[in-house]
């Protein structure tokens, strides 16, 4: 049983005012926000250390109107950001939630920088598809590992308790849905019941649960899952048992550029800077610039479920700011050649078809023209020898559906009312990526994890202290 309905006098082994399940970006931002309001949250984490999909990400948080952007002369604002998110998701998102995350993002990034010393800067040498301004804020290594390590250090300095190697298995609730506490199982098999005044689910999505992926995202059943294996869909399971509304369960963040067989993420900068993808027949197959998420399924539809990213040395230099790209080069995933003929031979694709595609694309770049798929090219994207290629496949990164919430993370019931003390943020909640993979705008994952994590932590704490 995943939810036990019980009486208010249920006995617990311990109590905390606020319990948070999961110590990814959402859980730790929630705990830090709660602490600032004077509420001591206890974060429960199944792993030996905070990690989650957050650690696997590039750690880039989109935010509009930050001082980091102003310092670089980048003109941006939350309204523009919100319209980018809604355009990508075809208007399928709740306007209020989009408004809350886009308004809250700049203050989130500046909060982490000013209060906890996170050395953010804006990526300003390429832009991600669909963003009208350069607004990706990253840490020096451009890794999610650095982001989660800094969040953990901030939590430790703030004396926030993180119960590691503890998996929450059951929730206790009154029949009206008011959450009374949780039962967790420690690594040594010991079970403990902890009571709470409020609960935040920050235990992410269901990408690590193949039967849920098959049920909810059939097009990615069997695809490589590149997210955290501990994301087993517990929030969806508990939500279903509690009668919570679940939204956009078919939405996901895919990625059409994971080096294979090396399993290393190749930044989409290689495409946005002027690179292209061809299949094993040397042919392009779509407008790669729409976004990397929907490209996962496109690549998987190609022969062998693979494609080649093709770019040049100039683009490789931009991509090298990412540790992953450097690792891909180190592991031999990035092929390089002085002529297109030599590159085609290394890739083992038909030379004529491949060369025809490259020639056509370079011609379009020179004329600032559009290709047969609708992709627009520009002269600055020109590629010259030496050329590079990486064999890639499509992968499922992170699910984007989940518990329906309001603009502070409060979980909604099916009939439209809200649970009195249950909150969700990050991958546990429905995101702002519409209903499919095509609605994912780069950065939506950490945007909702960090901003809604913080907002949920604040809202739960204000309620507890009232």
Ligand X SMILES: Cc1cc2nc3c(=O)[nH]c(=O)nc-3n(C[C@H](O)[C@H](O)[C@H](O)COP(=O)(O)OP(=O)(O)OC[C@H]3O[C@@H](n4cnc5c(N)ncnc54)[C@H](O)[C@@H]3O)c2cc1C
Does 267 sit near ligand X (CB under 6 A)? no
Q: Determine the Cα–Cα distance for residues 423 and 429; give it in Å rounded to an integer.
A: 9
The smaller minimum CB distance to ligand X, of residues 279 and 444, is found at 444
Determine if 60 is a binding residue for ligand X (CB under 6 A): yes
With CB under 6 A as the contact rule, the residue among 227, 254, 394, 401 that binds ligand X is: 227
Residue 67: count of CB within 10 angstroms of its CB: 13
Q: What is the CA radius of gyration of the chain?
A: 23
Q: Are 3 and 237 in contact (CB under 8 A)?
A: no
Task: Tell me 220's DSSP state.
Answer: G
Q: Which is nearer to ligand X, 196 or 343 (CB)?
A: 196
CA atoms within 13 A on the CB side of 170: 16
Residue 190's CB: how many other CB atoms inside 10 A? 10
Q: Residue 71, CB half-sphere, CA atoms under 13 Å: how many? A: 9
Asked if 394 is part of the footprint of ligand X (rule: CB under 6 A), the reply reads no
Of 58-66, 170-178, 244-252, 352-360: span binding ligand X (CB under 6 A): 58-66
Q: Which stretch binds ligand X (CB under 6 A): 1-9, 21-29, 307-315, 369-377?
A: 21-29
Pairing of strands 61-62, 14-21: unpaired
**Binding residues for ligand X, total number by CB under 6 A:** 44
Q: Which residues contact 332 (CB under 8 A, 6 or more apart)?
A: 262
Q: Are 224 and 446 in contact (CB under 8 A)?
A: no
**Residue number with CB closer to ligand X (130 or 427):** 427
| Closest residue by Cα to residue 28 from 108, 142, 122, 133 | 108
Of the residues 56, 112, 358, 390, which one makes contact with ligand X according to CB under 6 A: 56
Q: Which two tokens stand for residue 284?
A: 């392009």
Binding mask 402-441 for ligand X (x = CB under 6 A): ------------------------xx--------------
- Choose which of 3, 16, 45, 458 interacts with ligand X (CB under 6 A): 45
CA angle 10, 16, 18 (to 5 degrees): 110
Say whether residue 167 binds ligand X (CB under 6 A).
yes
**Out of 105, 160, 168, 455, which residue is the one contacting ligand X (CB under 6 A)?**
168
Please answer whether residues 164 and 156 qualify as being in contact, where contact means their C-beta atoms are separated by less than 8 angstroms: no
3-class DSSP assignment, residue 329? helix
Task: Provide the token pair at 170.
Answer: 């059951």
Using CB under 6 A, pick the residue from 104, 130, 443, 457 that binds ligand X. 443
The total of other beta-carbon atoms located within 10 Å of residue 461's CB is 26
Per-residue binding string, ligand X, 312-331, x by CB under 6 A, is: --------------------
When the beta carbons of 246 and 361 are compared against ligand X, the nearer one is: 246
52 binding ligand X? (CB under 6 A): yes
Contact stretch for ligand X (CB under 6 A) within 24-32, 91-99, 334-342, 413-421? 24-32
With CB under 6 A as the contact rule, the residue among 228, 262, 391, 435 that binds ligand X is 228
Establish if 135 lies at the interface with ligand X (CB under 6 A). no
Residues at the interface with ligand X (CB under 6 A): 21-27, 44-47, 51-54, 56-60, 144, 167-168, 202-204, 226-228, 230-232, 234, 253, 265, 397-398, 426-427, 443, 445-447, 449
């Amino acid at each position: 049983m995943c939810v036990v309905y019980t009486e208010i006098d249920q006995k617990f082994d311990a109590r905390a005012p606020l319990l948070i399940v999961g110590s990814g970006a959402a859980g730790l931002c929630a705990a830090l926000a709660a602490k600032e309001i004077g509420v001591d949250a206890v974060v429960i984490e199944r792993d030996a250390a905070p990690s989650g999909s957050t650690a696997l990400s590039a750690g880039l948080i989109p935010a509009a109107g930050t001082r980091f952007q102003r310092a670089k002369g980048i003109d941006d604002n939350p309204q523009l950001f919100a319209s980018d998110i809604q355009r990508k998701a075809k208007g399928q998102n709740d306007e209020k939630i989009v408004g809350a995350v886009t308004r809250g993002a700049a203050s989130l990034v500046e909060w982490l920088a000013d209060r906890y010393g996170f050395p953010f800067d804006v990526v300003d040498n390429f832009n991600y598809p669909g963003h009208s301004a350069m607004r990706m804020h990253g840490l020096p290594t451009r890794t999610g590992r650095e982001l989660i390590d800094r969040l953990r250090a901030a939590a430790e300095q703030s004396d926030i308790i993180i119960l590691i190697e503890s998996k929450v298995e059951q929730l206790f609730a009154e029949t009206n849905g008011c959450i009374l506490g949780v039962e967790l199982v420690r690594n040594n098999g010991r079970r403990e019941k902890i009571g709470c005044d409020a609960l935040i689910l920050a235990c992410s999505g269901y990408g690590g649960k193949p039967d849920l992926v098959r049920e909810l995202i059939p097009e990615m059943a069997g695809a490589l899952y590149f997210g955290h294996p501990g994301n087993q869909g517990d929030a969806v399971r508990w939500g279903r048992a509690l009668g919570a509304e679940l939204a956009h369960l078919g939405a996901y963040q895919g990625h059409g550029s994971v080096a294979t067989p090396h399993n290393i993420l190749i930044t989409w900068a290689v495409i946005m800077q002027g690179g292209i993808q061809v299949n094993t027949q040397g042919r392009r197959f779509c407008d790669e610039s729409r976004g990397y998420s929907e490209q996962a399924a496109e690549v998987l539809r190609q022969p062998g479920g693979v494609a080649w990213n093709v770019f040049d040395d100039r683009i490789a230099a931009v991509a090298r700011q990412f540790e992953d790209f450097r690792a891909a080069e180190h592991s031999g995933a990035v092929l390089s050649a002085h002529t297109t003929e030599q590159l085609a031979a290394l890739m083992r694709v038909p030379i004529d078809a491949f060369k025809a595609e490259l020639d056509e694309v370079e011609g379009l770049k020179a004329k600032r023209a559009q290709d047969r798929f609708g992709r627009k090219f520009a002269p600055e994207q020109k590629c010259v020898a030496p050329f590079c290629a990486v064999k890639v496949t499509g992968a499922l990164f992170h699910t984007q559906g989940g518990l329906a919430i309001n603009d502070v993370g409060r979980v909604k019931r099916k009939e439209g009312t809200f649970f009195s003390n249950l909150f969700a943020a990050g991958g546990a909640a429905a995101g702002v990526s519409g209903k499919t993979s095509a609605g994912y705008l780069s950065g939506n994952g950490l945007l909702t994890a960090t901003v809604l994590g913080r907002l949920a932590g604040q809202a739960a704490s204000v309620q507890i202290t009232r």
